[in-house]
Amino acid sequence: MHEMSLAEGVLQLAEDTARREKAQRIKLIVLEIGRLSSVEPEALSFCFEAVARGSMAQGAGLEIIDVPGAGWCMLCAETVPMQERYDACPSCGHPLEVTSGTEMRVREVEIE
């Protein structure tokens, strides 16, 4: 389950931020996760709760913002929504080049 290592990385980033700012506690972490990223948000939430025990982030909220997938069709010269990584253009059937939806980033860390 790669969500465990992702949760550990998110915790490390948040703790580094909190220490740099001389905070005592992490209250909230906001993540952006793309639909095409192969990250299961529910599994990540579960793993984060486990790795946060005993840390500055114990009890912190984890807000996940869903980032829709999009792809570029070279033949139609259009950007279209994507649900799956290997979707084809709905107009012409040509394979799409993914332009968004694969990202996972920490957007915000709320500390006190």
Query: pLDDT tens across 13-31, in order?
Result: 999 999 999 999 999 999 9
Q: How far apart are CA 103 and CA 37, in angstroms?
A: 6
Q: How far apart are CA 11 and CA 108, in angstroms?
A: 12
Q: How far apart are CA 7 and CA 13, in angstroms?
A: 10
Question: Taking a C-beta distance cutoff of 8 angstroms, is the pair 57, 14 a contact?
Answer: yes
2-68+101-111 is classed CATH 3.30.2320.50: yes
Residue 56: DSSP 8-state = T
pTM score: 0.87
- Provide the pLDDT for residue 43: 97
- Mean pLDDT of all residues in 102-107: 96
